[in-house]
Amino acid sequence: MSLQVHITTFGCQMNKLDSELVANELISQGFELCRDNGQADVVIFNTCSVRQHAENRVLTCLGRLGRQKASHPGLITVLIGCMAQRQGTELIERFADLDIVCGPGELHRLSGLINKARDGAGRQLALTDRLRARRTVPTELEDMDTRHRLSQITSSAQAYVRATRGCDNFCSYCIVPSVRGPEISRPPASILAEVENLVAAGCIEITLLGQTVNGYRYCADGPETDFAELLRMVSAISGLKRLRFVTSYPRGFSDDVFYAMAEAPVICEYLHLPAQSGSDRILSAMKRSYTSAEYLDLIERGRTIVPNLSIAGDFIVGFPGETEEDFQDTVRLVKAVRYKNCFVFKYSPRPGTVAARRLTDDVPAEVKRRRNNELLAVQEEISLDLHREFIGQKVEILVEGPSKASYKERPEHRNQLTGRTRGDNIVVFDAPGQVEQLTGTLVDVIIRDASALTLFGELPSTLPNARQ
Ligand code: 5AD
Ligand code: SF4
């Protein structure tokens, strides 16, 4: 029997993509993916360092490795992702049952490291030296992306495709530039070839990824390709039905990107545009290089050029020095933008960042919690209002699969499917007898009810226009 590998993924879409690429490599070497971590011969944790909470969850998993090894002799344990690059040396010393630590810039070496460890060559550590000085990507690492095929990890209708690696922004709170390295844009030809392969394999929705994806800029010998141009090229690929991109950075966001969105029907009217704060004083301390007025101006231009633009945001509450007045500026910004949804995070000092070095984490945990809840409550009201406007409308959704939460809570809902609109709204609807058939397809659904998080719809009484 083939060796079984299990991957647990923490963190953002970039990590989900890396897990998928690692799975592909291991499958091509004869491994099989397994769903049950207890059955695996190799367990991999793909980790996130963006907040302490994310790291704590991984530390708990690492603490259990000894017991896992005792019940499965020969088990190989692997740590990849941002925590590997940030603390690899320390972690391999601290956790005697951890066999391999491999940073995100060394993933092309991972299958070799697993083979070495299995051959008894001992514990393996692969981190990128002088990561910030790296100006090119090793060919073998780039090849992992270009060889991207759909694996069992994600649905076959949707895939992430990397546009850029790393980040050069150095927001004062953020660990990403030091664990993911400098921003490097992939050659457009590689991106196009990858999308073409995925679409040929049946994928209908592609999400282009980058820490600041709109910063995409590629120039080798020929003319420069910017992000708007990349969007136009990818959207022209025949068979692709939906194109998205995350995450955008508010400075240097060209109107041409909005024009590309308005012109190409496959580009979804969706923008993930973190503001982080509504206070100019805090934005400056965060080194975000825009003001709340500039941010609002960008949103207005976007909404003028792209009708029905659906916008998601990220906010950090309790950044050092954040007063009640600063926080109220954030509340005002959230109300002014009317986001589709917001992700709200409590500030977590990351060792090595400018904020952790120079600023005191002086907002008490209790105040952070209250601001977090207050901002979420403000957003919830907006989300509900926006969702209610959908009632009675017909929307196109990409069906992702059975609605798991409702199935667990209420077995009578086992015929329920979940999917997303072009604007990234979650829709749940009943589809008795059609669960398999509709998964991974685009269907029209009529919205009948709405909560802040979810739209509830039904298939039109005529046959659904399931299209592949
Ligand atoms: N503390 C809290 N939240 C953070 N984020 C990034 N760094 C931190 C931090 N140190 C949030 C930002 C970012 C999202 C991915 O995580 O809002 O957009
Ligand atoms: Fe993603 Fe950032 Fe977390 Fe790394 S630290 S997994 S890049 S969110």
DSSP code for 130 = T
User: CA 81, CA 45: separation in Å to the nearest integer?
Assistant: 8
Residue 447 contacts by C-beta under 8 Å, 6 or more apart in sequence? 390, 391, 392, 393, 394, 395, 427, 455, 456, 457
Q: Are 189 and 204 in contact (CB under 8 A)?
A: no
| Ranges of H-type helices in 218-337 | 227-235, 255-263, 280-285, 292-305, 324-337
The reply to whether 394-458 shares the fold of 4-131 is no
Where are the domains positioned within the chain?
4-131, 139-386, 394-458
DSSP lists the bridge partners of residue 456 as 428, 449
350-408: pLDDT as tens digits? 999 999 999 999 999 999 999 999 999 999 999 999 999 999 999 999 999 988 765 45
Nearest CA to ligand 2 atom 6: 48
Domain 4-131 has CATH 1.10.274.100: no
**Cα–Cα distance for residue pair 185/421, rounded to 1 Å:** 29
For residue 102, give the nearest of 3, 18, 31 by alpha carbon. Answer: 18
The Å distance, Cα 156 to ligand 1 centre, comes to 30
**pLDDT tens digit at each of 468 positions of the chain:** 799 999 999 999 999 999 999 999 999 999 999 988 889 999 999 999 999 999 999 999 999 999 999 999 999 999 999 999 999 999 999 999 999 999 999 999 999 999 999 999 999 999 999 999 998 999 999 999 999 987 766 678 999 999 999 999 999 999 999 999 999 999 999 999 999 999 999 999 999 999 999 999 999 878 999 999 999 999 999 999 999 999 999 999 999 999 999 999 999 999 999 999 999 999 999 999 999 999 999 999 999 999 999 999 999 999 999 999 999 999 999 999 999 999 999 999 999 999 999 999 999 999 999 999 999 999 999 999 999 999 999 999 999 998 876 545 556 667 899 999 999 999 999 998 898 899 999 999 999 999 999 999 999 964 555 444
Tens digits of per-residue pLDDT, 48-84?
999 999 999 999 999 999 999 999 999 999 999 999 9
Q: Does the Cβ of 347 fall within 6 Å of ligand 1?
A: yes
Whole-number Å distance, alpha carbon 10 to ligand 2 midpoint, is 8
Determine the Cα–Cα distance for residues 381 and 383; give it in Å rounded to an integer.
Answer: 5
Residues 429 and 444: beta-carbon distance below 8 Å: no
Name the residue of 176, 211, 249, 345 to mutate for ligand 2: max ligand atoms within 8 A of Cβ. 176
Task: Indicate the CATH number for domain 394-458.
Answer: 2.40.50
Cα four-point dihedral sign 377, 383, 389, 392: negative
- Cα 82 to averaged position of ligand 2 atoms, centre (Å): 6
3-state secondary structure of 420: strand
Q: Residue 387: what are its φ and ψ, rounded to 5°?
A: -65, -35
Number of Cβ within 10 Å of residue 115's Cβ equals 13
Its CATH class, for the domain covering 139-386, is alpha beta
Q: How far is Cα 405 from Cα 344, in angstroms, rounded to an integer? A: 22
Q: Based on the number of CB atoms within 10 Å of its own CB, is 344 exposed (0-12), middle (13-18) or buried (19 or more)?
A: buried
